[in-house]
């Protein structure tokens, strides 16, 4: 609400001087220091240094939907009603 009223700078200044900000900065510094001490094996570094996409392909997601969700949905009238109910109704009217 302060942003809508144009008082966002006052809120930011209040946070900058707050004990919460100090605690958050100390916690962040602790996390950053621990990250530099972390040793990663060469095998993990090699796995992380990929040169191609490692995302699941779209057809794999389609296969999962057809295999697991579609048979269950075809048996559910709450799923089928909005998808084919109006088409059947219009077909009967015409």
Residues 2-59: pLDDT tens digits? 778 888 888 889 999 999 999 999 999 998 888 777 788 888 888 888 777 778 888 9
Greater model confidence, 89 or 69: 89
Select from 89, 85, 67 the least CA-distant residue to 76: 85
pTM higher than the cut 0.75: no
Taking residues 64-85, what's their average pLDDT? 85
Question: What SS3 state is found at 65?
Answer: helix
Query: Rg of the chain over CA atoms, in angstroms?
Result: 28
Helix (H), strand (E) counts: the chain = 7, 0
């Amino acid at each position: 609400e302060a942003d809508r009223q144009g008082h966002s700078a006052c809120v930011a200044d209040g946070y900058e001087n707050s004990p919460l900000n100090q605690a958050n900065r100390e916690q962040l510094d602790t996390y950053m220091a621990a990250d530099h001490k972390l040793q990663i094996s060469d095998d993990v570094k090699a796995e992380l240094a990929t040169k191609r996409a490692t995302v699941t392909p779209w057809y794999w997601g389609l296969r999962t939907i057809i295999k697991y969700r579609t048979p269950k949905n075809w048996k559910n009238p709450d799923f089928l009603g909005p998808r084919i109910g109006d088409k059947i109704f219009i077909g009967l009217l015409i």
